[in-house]
Structure 1
Amino acid sequence: MQRIIGLLAALWLAVVLSFGPAHADTAPRKVIIDDEGFALMHLMLLESDKIDVVGITTVSGNTWANRATAMALRGLEIADRPDIPVVQGATYPLLNSEALTERWEALYGKLTWKGAWMKEWAEPTVQSTPVYYGPNDPVDLPNGNPKLKPLPEVAANFMIRMVHQYPGQITIVACGPLTNLALAQRLDPQFASLVGELVYMGGSFNPHQVLDTVSAAEFAREYANSPRREFNARFDPEAASIVSHSEWRKLTVIPADPSTATQLTPDLLKRLAKAAAPDVGAFIAGMEAGFPLWDEIAAGYLLDPAIETEGEDLYVDYNTQFGPDYGDTLSWREHYQPGLGEREAHVVRAIDPKRLEAVMVNAMAQGAKRTK
């Protein structure tokens, strides 16, 4: 009898333990979004039932940090999420600058995209040219300025504070230059080891044109002669290299490679707007079509890792020598890396675009259901 009781107790314990992790997996994943604006990637994570966004940090990249902060605050108002803190981050890259970029172009040729430093395209394009601003110019957003205010804190300090408060529980999704993450790591050497996972959109390995539309071809053709160059890493190569040498528990890289098979088409915008809550849908309907789904792949991978169809574990770093390959992606398979502290990362090389689109639409539908 005692033996039977013991066996039943052991079986009961095994059943209880088996439910523990499964229950934990159903809890929303705590996420910090680090980016240079507000777009579909943010909405995917804000609207999804799987994600608990604990903060948004901003950084200069496609636009300056002050404008990115205003865009994030306004986006949260539209999404009716005033509870989420926004913290402004680095205005300038660690070493790179607009003047250095102009000097580089004079020596080595024109860059396709320069973000906050962009004044004109090198050739005619179907995409609109962004308005050029200075780093401290007043911000006046076309869809209205936010009433919400950012936290009176620095983004790097906010991230450090949050990962100490929730050790191993925070996932950081970084879709802009990695300046804030590099600063946090330099301020606190424990920082990376306390992050549950870093998923960043950046780097480029060997992208090829997949889609035949004019817009898609324009974005893909830059990789024909510079397959290792990608904007986020090129804007702040030193930060990207610091991040590549930091002791992350789990590191996932979403390079430019899978983006050439994706496009924000007018049809996709309509489907997203229809699925979303009214205010969010109206915001989405006003977005410009034609761009690849760079950042959305990072958010989609977080929501459904099965969108990945090809991946590889590689040691990744970035070139910080000021020459023709400044900011280019470096990578090695096991046994070939220099062994100078570079970290192994999982690199997502290709995705299923239709599955990604379904994830995007589903996230908007979840948000709409929650607001009813």
Structure 2
Amino acid sequence: MRWLFLLLLLVAAPAQAERRKVIIDDEGFALMHLMHLMLLEDPDIDVIGITTVSGNAWANRATAMVLKGLEIAHRTDVPVVQGATFPLLNSEALTDRWEALYGKLTWKGAWMKAWVEPTQQSTPPYFGPTDPVDLPGGNAKIKPSDEIAANFLIRMVHKYPGEVTILAAGPLTNLALAQRLDPAFAGLAKELVYMGGSLNPHRVLSDRSAADFAREYGNTPRREFNARFDPEAASIVSRSPWRKIIIVPVDPSTATQRSKALLARMAKVTIPDIAKFIKEMEPGFPLWDEIAAGVWLDPSIVTDRETVFVDYNTQFGPGYGDMLSWRASYQPGVGEQAAEVVRAVAPAKLEALMVRVMAAGAKRDAALSRAAAAP
């Protein structure tokens, strides 16, 4: 009945107007992180765009992955805008030189060719920054926006001043560029939530996968990939006048894992296309970005937090890209901003949240399909 479909639209309209607006700024890795699905499937969240940046993969490959993921999730309504291909100053050649001087990095993202020592996790194939992208199973039919990510970010915070959360899960290059182009950018956003940095993480889980990821922390507790890939961008963003900053460093991730059991729980409650995609994910990785999404969706999962002033080391030395932090009154006072840093989360609550939002998304999709099919 068409009147019922129209009634559903009218009832849903006020709720949609009140949904929390977010832009996901990410680097891609798999076709789509579970983080993307958490935000896309939550009925209370309005993902107004996804911007891509080089990090774990080059920006063009990250863009292709996100587009493919949106088709799988039946969310082709979300605009995808490609961002920076290269960091502001850092490069693959500089990273090779740095390693010759100061030792090997555990993970190098788009520059990664092989693990330094045997590891349980697979190594993604190596590509150049402009190599053509041909994803397994074919590329998406939908195309990215012609806009540049930094411009899109600026345009959205001007369109919705004080309403847009930026949730960044990769290097902060796009955000730094946006701030340099428009000094009002950071202040117009509602808040910045990002996964990056490292304070003093310790291994929590006992299996081989957790050991592989924790091996770096004992000697380099302040190093984390997203910041290390583009330290200058991380520093610019840290000194920008955001209304609120929430940082999810590596620290809480050591108690979490994308386990086979978690993937099975999520696949069980979602739609078939997403379920198939989730079942094909490689298990064993910490829930880095998923924690960032979870903290924003439900702050009650946080069990330990601390407010500190944060910046990043931009000196090309052994601490290049390391996180710098000070308690109030001890900061140098050169623009660094206070940030709420998440030190620990409740893994069981995070996993329950992940399953819950997937189930809610499936329920919403089913209701919309029934309404659309009504005579």
TM-score normalised to structure 1 length: 0.93
1:25, 1:308 → 2: CA distance? 27
Aligned residues of 2:20 and 2:45 also touching (Cα < 8 A): yes
Letter of the 2:22 partner, please give it: V
Letter of the 2:23 partner, please give it: I
**1:241 and 2:235 equivalent?**
yes
The alpha-carbon distance between structure 1 residues 51 and 265, as it changes in their structure 2 partners (threshold 3 A), is same
For residues 181-200 of structure 1, what are the structure 2 equivalents within 5 Å?
181-200=175-194
Aligned to 1:110: 104
Aligned residues of 1:50 and 1:303 also touching (Cα < 8 A): no
Displacement of 1:25: 11
2:15, 2:204 → 1: CA distance? 39
Q: What do the CA deviations read for 1:178-222 (whole angstroms, capped 9, x no partner)? A: 000000000000000000010000000000000001001110121
Gaps of 5+ in 2: 1-13, 367-375
1:126, 1:253 → 2: CA distance? 28
Aligned residues of 2:108 and 2:229 also touching (Cα < 8 A): yes
Displacement of 1:26: 9.2
Aligned residues of 2:27 and 2:52 also touching (Cα < 8 A): yes
Among residues 224, 230, 248, which one is paired with 1:230 in the alignment? 224
Among residues 299, 321, 324, which one is paired with 1:305 in the alignment? 299
Q: What do the CA deviations read for 1:134-185 (whole angstroms, capped 9, x no partner)? A: 0000101114211100110100000000000000000000000000000000
Percent of pairs with identical residues: 72
Aligned residues of 1:56 and 1:87 also touching (Cα < 8 A): yes
Among residues 275, 281, 287, which one is paired with 1:287 in the alignment? 281
Gaps of 5+ in 1: 1-22
Q: What do the CA deviations read for 1:54-109 (whole angstroms, capped 9, x no partner)? A: 00000000000000000111111011111110000000000000000000000111
1:254, 1:362 → 2: CA distance? 21
Q: Aligned-pair RMSD on alpha carbons? A: 1.2
Which 4+ stretches in 1 moved above 2 angstroms? Answer: 23-27
1:347, 1:120 → 2: CA distance? 32
Among residues 46, 49, 56, which one is paired with 1:52 in the alignment? 46
Q: What do the CA deviations read for 1:248-298 (whole angstroms, capped 9, x no partner)? A: 001100000000000011101100111111111111110000000000000
1:63, 1:157 → 2: CA distance? 22
The alpha-carbon distance between structure 1 residues 24 and 341, as it changes in their structure 2 partners (threshold 3 A), is farther
2:138, 2:293 → 1: CA distance? 26
Q: What do the CA deviations read for 1:289-346 (whole angstroms, capped 9, x no partner)? A: 0000000000001110001000000000000000000000000000000000100000
1:172, 1:274 → 2: CA distance? 30
The alpha-carbon distance between structure 1 residues 25 and 53, as it changes in their structure 2 partners (threshold 3 A), is closer
Displacement of 1:49: 1.4
Letter of the 2:89 partner, please give it: L
Aligned to 1:13: none
Among residues 313, 323, 335, which one is paired with 1:329 in the alignment? 323
Displacement of 1:27: 2.3
Aligned residues of 2:16 and 2:44 also touching (Cα < 8 A): no
* Bigger radius of gyration: 1
1:211, 1:351 → 2: CA distance? 14
How many residues are paired up? 350
